Amino acid sequence: MMGYVMKLVLFLLSLALAFAAPAAADEREPDIVLAGEITHADHQTYRDLVFDVPEGMSRVTVAFSYSGREERTTIDLGLRDPAGFRGWSGGNKSRFTVAEFFATPSYRPGPILPGEWAVVIGVPNIREDVTARYEARIWLDGPDAAPASLGGPAAAPAPGWRRGDLHTHTGHSDASCANRSGMHVPCPVHVAIEAAIGAGLDFVAITDHNTATHLNALRELAPYYDDIVIIPGAEVTTFHGHANVLGATEWIDFQLSSEAAAFTALLDQAERTGAIVSVNHPRLPSGEDCMGCGWTGEVDDWSRVAAIEVVNGATIRRAGTVEHPFSGIPFWEDLLNDGHRITAIGGSDNHDPAARSGPQAPVGSPATVVWSLEASPSGVLDGIRQGRVFIDIANDPDRLLDMKATFGEREAVMGAALVSGGAPVEITAEIAGVSAGRAEFIGPEGAVAESSLSEAEVSDDRRVVRLTLSAQTMPAWLRVQVRDAEGAIVLLGNPIYFE
Ligand SMILES: [Zn+2]
Ligand SMILES: [Zn+2]
């Protein structure tokens, strides 16, 4: 009989532990488990659960659970590092992470010092004759760990087009906005996120210059703004060009020398953190007006650069057109012609997210629209790597641009390669939201063909334009762009490659 009761008690205990702090489905085993018991002797006392952090760690995650809640046992939680107090969440959080530049609210970001740390538990209440079991599971991550989550909603597979802005600034670098009495002050991060939601975006990258202090604000905001994917990032501003590191959850070293090896170090760091690199506004002039704005950096392996910002909102705003002398399109096409497969993207480069008028390109102008498998930072970044992406200059949610190439049973979408093995190859482009104007097919030698949209076949509210490539006209790559009735580029697609 006693055996049965003991088993039942153990079973209920295990249930209590399981429900107290559910583990993520794909979570690895903890590096450290600190388990123990408390009794009434611990009532209204504190206890340090000591553990050791080795050299070279970059974040610490703690998940805490305990039994006896149904008997009104309560255990509070905090953290101490070798230098002192690191935070206190009492009874309000059963799981938290601290890292150099971000931490779960209640905790403090800062260096992960090697040495003696402690999960500090406080016991506001445990009744007489009650024994409660606790378990602290601790994960220590080094710099080679998988990218940290900033606490946004968990993503389920949901393939689809997602539109967003890949280049925005906040008051953590040089963005300012009007405060409540109209004075310009460093702009808080949430204002940029509100602007992105107001622009109808599905994702926004916050890319402050050369710092990582915005990460802690993003860590606080990501769970709240669960209707937009927030991508952490940095615009690494060097004397030899600007590059966005998208997905970075640590500080990226910007103090590069002029040698190619220096950019290799940046690419190494980005790859290690699961981030991707985009070269920004590469053809801007570089000089005393804007130091290092144009790209003069040496890159020894362009295949490691995922994207080129071919459309920069701030520059369009100044030039009045996408096709200005500082456009990034020719820079990108030169790389395509050298055999690199790099995704063209856009970014507003907004520095005043609250402004409704004035010199700034609004957040979302241009929008980069990405086919991605899930609504998460890694989903969007993978989509950019894959290259089924188009740029919508005016961020009109009704607009869409897609293209595919078929040879018999084989098919390729934007960003992919078609191994045709012969001709003819049929190209089909679908355009939504633009009814007058023209679609232009462009290859290494320039325009290959164009089609009037007003005369195009219409299917499901989309204009469908087609092109047949013969063996003689097979280009190394082909992309499509759409001009409106006035001749301005409004949609710009990525290439399909031919082998
Ligand atoms: Zn820049
Ligand atoms: Zn910028």
Between the CA of 314 and the centroid of ligand 2 the distance, in Å, is: 9
Q: How many CA atoms lie within 13 A of 369 on its CB side?
A: 22
Q: What angle do the packed helices 189-198 and 214-221 form, to 10 degrees?
A: 50
d(CA 168, CA 351): 7
The pLDDT-based confidence of 73 (bands split at 50, 70, 90) is very high
Q: How far is CA 186 from CA 15, 178, 349, 460, in A?
A: 48, 9, 16, 46
Region 328-352: mean pLDDT is: 97
CATH number, residue 246 = 3.20.20.140
Between the CA of 72 and the centroid of ligand 2 the distance, in Å, is: 53
Query: Nearest ligand to the C-alpha of residue 167?
Result: 2
Between the CA of 435 and the centroid of ligand 2 the distance, in Å, is: 33
Query: Nearest ligand to the C-alpha of residue 243?
Result: 1
| Residue 28 in this model has a pLDDT that exceeds 70 | yes
Between the CA of 109 and the centroid of ligand 2 the distance, in Å, is: 25
User: Which among 276, 486, 325, 464 is positioned nearest to 394, based on CA atoms?
Assistant: 486
Query: Nearest ligand to the C-alpha of residue 234?
Result: 2
Distance of CA 444 to the CA centre of its chain: 31
* pLDDT more than 90, % of the chain: 81
HEC string of 245-313 equals EECCCCCCCCCCCCCHHHHHHHHHHHHHCCCEEEECCCCCCCECCECCCCCCCCCCCHHHCCEEEEEEH
Radius of gyration of the chain (CA): 27
Note whether 259 and 382 are same-domain residues: yes
Overall pTM > 0.75 = yes
| Residue 14 in this model has a pLDDT that exceeds 70 | no
Between the CA of 488 and the centroid of ligand 2 the distance, in Å, is: 24
Region 197-205: mean pLDDT is: 98
Note whether 21 and 120 are same-domain residues: yes
The pLDDT-based confidence of 298 (bands split at 50, 70, 90) is confident
CATH number, residue 74 = 2.60.120.380
Between the CA of 218 and the centroid of ligand 1 the distance, in Å, is: 21
Distance of CA 262 to the CA centre of its chain: 24
DSSP letter (8 states) at residue 350 = B
Q: By mean pLDDT, which of 129-143, 204-218, 245-259, 325-339 is the weakest?
A: 245-259
Note whether 268 and 282 are same-domain residues: yes
> Helix or strand or coil: residue 162?
strand
When comparing pLDDT for 208 and 25, which is higher? 208
**What is the pLDDT, as a whole number, of residue 258?**
65
Between the CA of 285 and the centroid of ligand 1 the distance, in Å, is: 11
Note whether 124 and 193 are same-domain residues: no
Between the CA of 256 and the centroid of ligand 1 the distance, in Å, is: 16
Region 148-158: mean pLDDT is: 87
Between the CA of 51 and the centroid of ligand 1 the distance, in Å, is: 43
Between the CA of 202 and the centroid of ligand 2 the distance, in Å, is: 20
Query: Nearest ligand to the C-alpha of residue 360?
Result: 2
Note whether 254 and 319 are same-domain residues: yes
Between the CA of 64 and the centroid of ligand 1 the distance, in Å, is: 43
Between the CA of 348 and the centroid of ligand 1 the distance, in Å, is: 10
Beta-carbon neighbour count of residue 358 at 10 Å?
8
459: containing domain = 398-499
Between the CA of 242 and the centroid of ligand 1 the distance, in Å, is: 5
Asked if the bond preceding 377 is cis, omega within 30° of 0, the reply is no
Q: Could you give the number of structural domains in the chain?
A: 3
Last residue of a domain, one of 352, 378, 397: 397
Note whether 91 and 202 are same-domain residues: no
Element of type H or E holding 11: helix 2-20
Note whether 407 and 389 are same-domain residues: no
First to last CA, the chain: 75
**What is the pLDDT, as a whole number, of residue 260?**
63
Note whether 311 and 407 are same-domain residues: no
Query: Nearest ligand to the C-alpha of residue 173?
Result: 2
Amino acid at 200: G
Note whether 31 and 165 are same-domain residues: no
Between the CA of 332 and the centroid of ligand 2 the distance, in Å, is: 18
Between the CA of 280 and the centroid of ligand 2 the distance, in Å, is: 8
Last residue of a domain, one of 141, 159, 192: 141
Note whether 344 and 462 are same-domain residues: no
Sheet of 46-53, strands arranged across? 46-53, 115-125, 74-81, 84-90
Note whether 414 and 484 are same-domain residues: yes
Between the CA of 414 and the centroid of ligand 2 the distance, in Å, is: 27
| Residue 365 in this model has a pLDDT that exceeds 60 | yes
Note whether 218 and 344 are same-domain residues: yes
Q: By mean pLDDT, which of 217-221, 237-241, 393-397, 493-497 is the weakest?
A: 237-241
d(CA 237, CA 235): 6
Amino acid at 119: V
User: Which among 67, 49, 44, 77 is positioned nearest to 130, based on CA atoms?
Assistant: 67
Last residue of a domain, one of 112, 141, 170: 141
Between the CA of 169 and the centroid of ligand 2 the distance, in Å, is: 7
d(CA 356, CA 353): 8
Query: Nearest ligand to the C-alpha of residue 347?
Result: 2
> Strand 203-209 vs strand 157-168: parallel, antiparallel, or unpaired?
parallel
Between the CA of 99 and the centroid of ligand 1 the distance, in Å, is: 27
**What is the pLDDT, as a whole number, of residue 22?**
43
**What is the pLDDT, as a whole number, of residue 146?**
79
User: Which among 275, 274, 284 is positioned nearest to 309, based on CA atoms?
Assistant: 284
- With tokens 């990582």, the residue in question is 212
Q: What is the mean pLDDT of the chain?
A: 92
Region 461-482: mean pLDDT is: 94
